[in-house]
Structures are given as structure tokens and as C-alpha cells.
């Protein structure tokens, strides 16, 4: 099963992955956590290029292709083999980030063109479940400001990030069966509780309770 976490900046995705994985492992699942862009040696090198604050001249088309290059590598090297081995994968961002940021955010490349390069990079690998950690953009950016990894995209305008959030909501409306939204403005423990409840109901539709 392939689960992705999405959300605007500062929504706290990353801080939730490890505790979720530990909870699932304790419940007997074989879990693998990873992130995009990154998750492979090549992907992490590409991440560095995309997010380098000094690369101010990077065109959105270049940016879009670099994300897909990192994505093609993680799909082939990590995601497909592990999913074929029936592992449960939790991934911090995946192609919905491309649609939200490079599509809705920049408003330069039509979504249909982005979908074509995503299709090439992923060979059609779609998540079983995508959770949107939803949060007001200003709150997210101010949270992020207090942390260390401030990247080139964080430095885009607040309007850019507002369009990203609207984009996520539109993507969710297009595929309601794949998406679940969790309110990321809640205290961390409440967000973690909601995430567990969402994942549990997908893994376990009969709602047999897993241990805390």
C-alpha cells in the first residue's frame, strides 16, 4: 500500500512520518518511509539543486523536470520494488506536489502538460491514499520560518503559496476517493491521532483496533 502526505509549507508532514511508521511497525506492518524530492542518492542530489537559494534563475520548466527526474529515480529504485514486495510505504510528498506547486503555484505550465511528464516519471504509479495536512498559508510559513530547512520555493510570495493550497483543494475534489484531509492547525497530538485514524480505516476497513 502506498500512502502519500501532502500539504503546504509548515504543515508538519515530516514530523508525523516517524511516529506513524513506529506505530505501524508495532502493529506488525513492514513500513518504509521516504520523501520527495529525494529518497535516493540521485534524488537527494537533485533536491539540493532545486532548493538551492542561489539558483534564482531556475525556470519553472526546469524545476518541473528536475522534480520528475528525482521522481523517476525513486519510483524505479525504491517505490516499485518495495510495493511489489508488499511493503507499506509512507512518502512525504509525491506528484500532487508538482501539480500544486509547479501547476497552480507558478501558473505557467498547463496542468495537462504536467500530467504528461508525471506519467512518464511515475509510469502510472498512483498512491492508494493521499492525506492533505491542511493549514492556513500564513500560519504554515511562519511555522516554517522557525525551522532550519528554508528552501528556494519557501521564498516565493504568499500569493504563490495561497494558490498551492487552492490547488490541493481542487485536486482533492477531482479524486475524492483517494484523498483525505486532516486539519493541521490542531495541536500536534491531535493531528497524529487523526492521521492514525485515517490510515487505520484504510488498512482495516472493519475497524479492528490496532494498539496505540
By CB under 6 A, how many residues form the interface with ligand TMP? 12
DSSP H stretches of helix in the chain: 13-26, 41-51, 60-74, 80-84, 95-97, 111-122, 137-145, 158-174, 188-203
* Binding-site member from 2, 23, 67, 179 for ligand TMP (CB under 6 A): 67
Question: Between residues 41 and 210, which has the closer beta carbon with respect to ligand TMP?
Answer: 41
Q: Which of residues 114-133 bind ligand TMP (CB under 6 A)?
A: none
CA 169, 114, 91, 158 torsion-angle sign: negative
Could you say which of 2, 3, 33, 37 contacts ligand TMP (CB under 6 A)?
37
DSSP 31: E
CA 18, CA 80: separation in Å to the nearest integer? 21
CB-nearer residue toward ligand TMP: 151 or 200: 151
* Cross-strand pairs, 182: 133
Please list every residue from 153 through 182 that binds ligand TMP, using CB under 6 A.
153-154
Does position 151 interact with ligand TMP (CB under 6 A)? The reply is yes
134 binds ligand TMP (CB under 6 A): no
CA dist., res. 180 & res. 102, Å (int): 22
DSSP string for 169-180: HHHHHH-TTTEE
Q: Determine the interface stretch with ligand TMP among 80-88, 97-105, 106-114, 121-129 (rule: CB under 6 A).
A: 97-105
Contact residues for ligand TMP (CB under 6 A)?
A: 9, 36-37, 67, 93, 97-98, 101-102, 151, 153-154
Amino acid at each position: 500500500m502506498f500512502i502519500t502526505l501532502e500539504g503546504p509549507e509548515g504543515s508538519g508532514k515530516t514530523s508525523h512520518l516517524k511516529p506513524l511508521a513506529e506505530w505501524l511497525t508495532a502493529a506488525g506492518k513492514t513500513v518504509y518511509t521516504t520523501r520527495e524530492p529525494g529518497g535516493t542518492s540521485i534524488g537527494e542530489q537533485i533536491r539540493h539543486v532545486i532548493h538551492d537559494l542561489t539558483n534564482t534563475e531556475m525556470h519553472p520548466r526546469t524545476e518541473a523536470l528536475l522534480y520528475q527526474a528525482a521522481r523517476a529515480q525513486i519510483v524505479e529504485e525504491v517505490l516499485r520494488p518495495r510495493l511489489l514486495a508488499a511493503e507499506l510505504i509512507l512518502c512525504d510528498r509525491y506528484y500532487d506536489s508538482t501539480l500544486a506547486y509547479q501547476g497552480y503555484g507558478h501558473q505557467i505550465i498547463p496542468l495537462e502538460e504536467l500530467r504528461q511528464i508525471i506519467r512518464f516519471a511515475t509510469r502510472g504509479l498512483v498512491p492508494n491514499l493521499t492525506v492533505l495536512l491542511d493549514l492556513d498559508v500564513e500560519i504554515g510559513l511562519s511555522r516554517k520560518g522557525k525551522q532550519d530547512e528554508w528552501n528556494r520555493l519557501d521564498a516565493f510570495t504568499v500569493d504563490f503559496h495561497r494558490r498551492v493550497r487552492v490547488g490541493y483543494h481542487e485536486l482533492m475534489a477531482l479524486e475524492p476517493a483517494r484523498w483525505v484531509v486532516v486539519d493541521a492547525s490542531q495541536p500536534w497530538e491531535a493531528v497524529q491521532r487523526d492521521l492514525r485514524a485515517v490510515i487505520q480505516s484504510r488498512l482495516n476497513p472493519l475497524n479492528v483496533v490496532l494498539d496505540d
